[in-house]
């Protein structure tokens, strides 16, 4: 049982032997992420005081307007991970292609690749709403001593060795898993240390919250429309409460604590879905499953999906197991 108020550094050292292929690199990698998260947290918290909010003036590879904080967070995580020379490659939602990192002796001997969404929900910064960072870590599949290729990044989610998110809210938390449960650490800004505040996080088996952008209702598949109506019915255990922040990290974090379902389906305006499989869905699915929940695209387990491109989009249903299974029933009924 993890000890509450243990520092993240102590926790990593104590549990290092649990990591697959344990040789120290993964621990150093998590340490690098916590350092970059502190830098981003500092910038997010002073966003209203300096010229760092608003649009950057460019669009990313997704065709979305980049916010100034998107660019700052992206550069911070890439620079921190590159300088520590622990990874052999990085892929970011904000970048067109992956970055190859040759290592300290140009020997391409590092073992891990990182995929990252540097600032999920960044459009909420201007209105002081919680945002987050999502990361996913894989062991490379190409031979050591050679530069990474796209194959190292296009791995199914069930190959992840670690995944996590940082939520920048009323408090700043780092939540992550290495395949042995989910633990959450809260930043003490006065000391600059992360303390274990939420050991062994678990989704309630069911809940009373559904999170979906109902403004897009008219564009949703019939199965999703029917599930929303089910959530709104006057029954003994319903209607459920609708809660949608527009920052996936925040919505899923709340639902993990209180019990609920998060849905971002495909629609008539986004026929493949909108969320990115590699940067958002796979890492969150790993966390959700490790916390006893379920994550699917409405039909298939997310982590079984074989990616075909870096910026692949898919529908996403995740949360308390019984709620996801009920949503899948409505999807299956309408698919037939």
Residue-wise pLDDT tens for the chain (336 aa)? 677 779 998 998 888 766 655 567 888 899 999 999 999 998 888 765 544 444 444 555 555 556 678 888 999 999 999 988 789 999 999 899 999 998 777 888 899 999 999 999 877 777 778 899 999 999 999 999 999 999 999 999 999 999 999 999 889 999 999 999 999 999 998 999 999 999 999 999 999 999 999 999 999 999 999 999 999 999 999 999 999 999 999 999 999 999 999 999 999 999 999 999 999 999 999 999 999 999 999 999 999 999 999 999 999 999 999 999 999 999 999 876
Distance separating alpha carbons of residues 336 and 226, to the nearest angstrom: 14
Compute the distance between CA of residue 113 and CA of residue 336 in angstroms, rounded to an integer.
40
Which positions make up the binding site? Answer: 93, 117, 119-123, 213, 244, 274, 280
| 142 three-state secondary structure | coil
d(C-alpha 113, C-alpha 138), whole Å: 5
Predicted TM-score (pTM) of this structure: 0.93
| CA-wise closest residue to 231 among 137, 320, 119, 128 | 320
Instruction: Tell me the CB-side half-sphere exposure of residue 69, using CA atoms within 13 A.
Output: 29
Residues contributing to the annotated binding site for Mg(2+):
93, 117, 119-120, 280
Query: Which helix (H) or strand (E) element contains residue 137?
Result: strand 131-139
Which positions make up the binding site for substrate? 120-123, 213, 244, 274
Domains and CATH numbers, the chain: 8-198 (3.30.540.10), 209-335 (3.40.190.80)
């Amino acid at each position: 049982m993890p000890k509450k108020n243990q520092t993240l550094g102590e926790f990593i050292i104590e549990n290092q032997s649990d990591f697959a292929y344990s040789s120290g690199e993964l621990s150093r990698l998590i340490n690098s992420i916590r350092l970059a998260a502190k830098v981003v947290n500092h910038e997010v918290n002073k966003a209203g005081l300096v010229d760092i909010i608003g649009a950057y003036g460019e669009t990313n590879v997704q065709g979305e307007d980049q916010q100034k904080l998107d660019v700052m967070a992206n550069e911070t995580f890439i620079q921190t991970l590159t300088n520590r020379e622990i990874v052999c490659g990085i892929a970011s939602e904000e970048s067109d292609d992956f970055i190859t990192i040759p290592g300290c002796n140009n020997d391409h001997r590092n073992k891990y690749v990182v995929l990252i969404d540097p600032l999920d929900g960044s459009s909420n910064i201007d209105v002081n709403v919680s945002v987050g960072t999502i990361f996913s870590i894989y062991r490379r599949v190409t031979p050591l001593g050679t530069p990474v290729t796209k194959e190292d990044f296009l791995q199914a989610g069930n190959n992840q060795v670690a995944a996590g998110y940082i939520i920048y809210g009323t408090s700043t938390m780092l939540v992550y898993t290495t395949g042995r449960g989910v633990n959450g650490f809260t930043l003490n800004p006065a000391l600059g240390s992360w303390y274990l505040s939420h050991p062994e996080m678990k989704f309630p088996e069911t809940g009373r919250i559904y999170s979906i952008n109902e403004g897009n209702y008219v564009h949703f598949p019939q199965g999703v429309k029917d599930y929303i109506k089910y959530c709104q019915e006057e029954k003994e255990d319903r209607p459920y409460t609708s809660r949608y922040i527009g920052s996936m990290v925040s919505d899923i974090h709340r639902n993990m604590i209180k019990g609920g379902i998060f849905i971002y389906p495909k629609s008539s305006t986004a026929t493949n879905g909108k969320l990115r499989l590699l940067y958002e869905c796979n890492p969150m699915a790993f966390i959700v499953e490790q916390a006893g929940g379920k994550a699917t695209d409405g039909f298939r387990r997310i982590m079984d999906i074989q990616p075909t491109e870096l910026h692949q989009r898919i529908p996403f249903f995740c949360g308390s197991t019984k709620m996801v299974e009920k949503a899948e029933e409505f999807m299956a009924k309408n698919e037939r």
